[in-house]
Structure 1
Amino acid sequence: MFFVTRTAPSVPVALQSDSVSLLRKVMLGAALAVAANAASAATQLNVGTVVWIGYGPFYVAEAMDMFKKNGVSVKLQVFADPALIPAALAGGSVQGAMLTYDQVIGQVAKGMQQKVVMPIDYSNGGDAIVAAKAITKVADFKGKKVGFNPLSPSDFLLSYALSSNGLSDKDVTAVNMTPEAVPAAMASGQMPIGVTYEPSLSQIVKQGGGQKFHVVYSSKNAPGLIADVLVFDDKFIKANPKDITAIMKSYLDGMAFMKAKPDEAAKIIGKFMGVSAKEVKEQLPGVYNIPLAEMPKAFVKSKETTSYYASGAVIGGILKAKAQIDKIPPTEATMDAQFVTALQAK
């Protein structure tokens, strides 16, 4: 290659021109490659999550490179405490989040513009209040210590169970702890009642050969009230619709894989959750992952608690009664159904 410098040997003008043109092309190509790599790194999306059996399709999608196949770079960022995820989403450290619908209502009531773009699942026994065998009903909770994570689905489930049985939060002694800490606290004997979800739920029930603790009340008693949802900030939704669609497609691909290859999927999910494939299969009935065909129901007005309009009214009422929100936000402000609608049309 000939470089034109003051000390370069004399060469024909045409050759000089060709050389300069070639050099420019090489440099431009290199610059574009660097820019492309930088853009690729910059566009990785962090999605906040917790270890929860209902998020299995997402775990499969990450392990099987389904996000990449759908044209988006996604990293699932695991939080030990689900209550920390909304703030992370608001602060921008994660671009998307897997939350429960009660969390979304709480955030929107505070002025945040976080919206549900897709229903993921609803708990069907995967969240529960467990207690010592001698405690047989919710009414027996009165005056006792209950371990749970405040401002979380566990808190909400407990409040709903108490109010449905003529009690209130004031009738129990709340002990602040993460869902993962509940099994050890109950095993030590310091906590007769705990509220948690899988896999911690199964760990508690199996203690003492299954003779120490049992489920007194679960999300199966209130279908749809603990609903897991995929959430993004409204500004991100408007700026990145293709990425959101790709993430949703990856979730659906993960669901399809779970159905087609249940054994392999159970191993993948178990590895992510830190449990065996056998335990994954035992826990899966505790959730209902919503297929695309049923997703629109969540966004439509209905008296069924699987609709956000119905469940939102109940959830909002409890949150307001607990002074966690000043007013119940309009259901429409908590969701954006355009992506589900578009996917269904394809």
Structure 2
Amino acid sequence: MRSRLLAALVSVLLAVSACGAPPPAPGKIKLGFSAWPGWMPWQVAKERGFFKINGVDVDLRYFDSYTDSLTALSTGAIDANSQTLNDTIASASSGGRQKIVLVNDTSTGNDQIIARDGITRVADLKGKKVAVEPGTVDHYLLLLALNRAKLHQGDVQLVSTLTDSAAAAFAAGHVDAVGAFAPHTSIALSRPGSGPVTSSADFPTSIPDLLVARADLARSRPDLVQRLVNTWFETLAWIERNPDEAIEIMARGAGVATVAYRAYQPGTTFLTKQENQSFFGTKSLQQRAGQVADFMVDAGLIPARPSLDGLFDDQFVNAL
């Protein structure tokens, strides 16, 4: 089977060199994403036709609830999803068979713990009500911050709710602090006097955002996954050349004003092709995953460290 796939890929390359464009590929990829700035380029790819240009038929599915996208991938309702490293490890601990095929970005400030007026540091959260979606990226950020402040989860009153509801509850004054990612941070910060007490900028490289595919798709149809990865980098190149038009598309997709979306830009750092290759090739991603897994076990987010063997698939970024 592998030799047939290699032969098929060679045929594709020959066809591309002969006619200047990839031939259409049979099959459709159901791709999930949520309102995180690092994943909104997928909306640009759809509206500008980059999926079609790369010969891949994509059913792009937007999830209001990020958690629902995780469930959709783990149950096979979608073929690939945009999700964080810690959430991918959580899926692996539950028996999920997935492959990390691309690092979209690292969070450099757009994940935040936001507190009310009078709370200016993480240590001040002791005994306070903190709304967060359990088990997801900003719960992880909260635990990282508490750990650095020599506090534990039990030192705060954790209010479990979905991220959008958590941001709204904080804005309405029902809790003292909230863990949220952009664009939900804009809702939280509408509360007068509020501000972030910590963010992902304080934990560099701790929150990589990924393209994760079902393991059986990466194995049986690597050509489709490759076209998806190619599309991502072509889209980023177009965004760099057309920043104003791109921001309009992404802001509209995220449901925020363009001025608000521009403010998110420093908080998300996109990785280049070369940085992706280095991230995989130097084992930096694998090492980070091991550290994240150990922390998640210690924090009680997962029962035991899962095997990470086979989770990382660098063939697609190396083929760019």
TM bucket, shorter chain = 0.7 to 0.9
Alignment of 1:110-149 (within 5 A): 110-149=94-133
Secondary structure at 1:54 match in 2: coil
Q: TM-score, normalization: structure 1?
A: 0.82
In 1, Cα distance between equivalents of 2:94 and 2:35: 26
Give the corresponding residue for 1:259: 240
Give the corresponding residue for 1:160: 144
265-274 or 308-317: bigger deviation: 308-317
Structure whose alpha-carbon radius of gyration is higher: 1
Give the corresponding residue for 1:21: none
Give the corresponding residue for 1:96: 80
User: What are the Cα deviations for residues 253-280 of structure 1, in whole angstroms up to 9, with x where unaligned?
Assistant: 1111110010000111111111122222
| Root-mean-square deviation (Å) | 1.8
Give the corresponding residue for 1:17: none
The one-letter code matched in structure 1 to 2:161 is M
Q: TM-score, normalization: structure 2?
A: 0.88
In 1, Cα distance between equivalents of 2:63 and 2:56: 22
In 2, Cα distance between equivalents of 1:333 and 1:238: 11
Query: Which residue, 220, 232, 236 being the options, matches 2:213?
Result: 232
CA contact (8 A) 1:70 1:250 kept: yes
Secondary structure at 2:310 match in 1: helix
1:291 shift after superposition: 0.9
CA contact (8 A) 2:79 2:213 kept: yes
1:171 maps to 2:116 = no
Give the corresponding residue for 2:292: 315
CA contact (8 A) 2:200 2:207 kept: yes
1:62 shift after superposition: 0.9
Give the corresponding residue for 1:76: 60
Query: Which residue, 306, 311, 314 being the options, matches 1:334?
Result: 311
**Structure 1 unpaired stretches of 5+:** 1-39
Query: Which residue, 45, 51, 55 being the options, matches 1:61?
Result: 45
Secondary structure at 1:334 match in 2: coil
1:318 shift after superposition: 2.1
1:317 shift after superposition: 1.6
Give the corresponding residue for 2:28: 44
In 1, Cα distance between equivalents of 2:89 and 2:287: 13
The one-letter code matched in structure 1 to 2:237 is A
User: What are the Cα deviations for residues 100-131 of structure 1, in whole angstroms up to 9, with x where unaligned?
Assistant: 00011112222222110000111000000000
CA contact (8 A) 1:104 1:334 kept: no
1:313 shift after superposition: 2.7
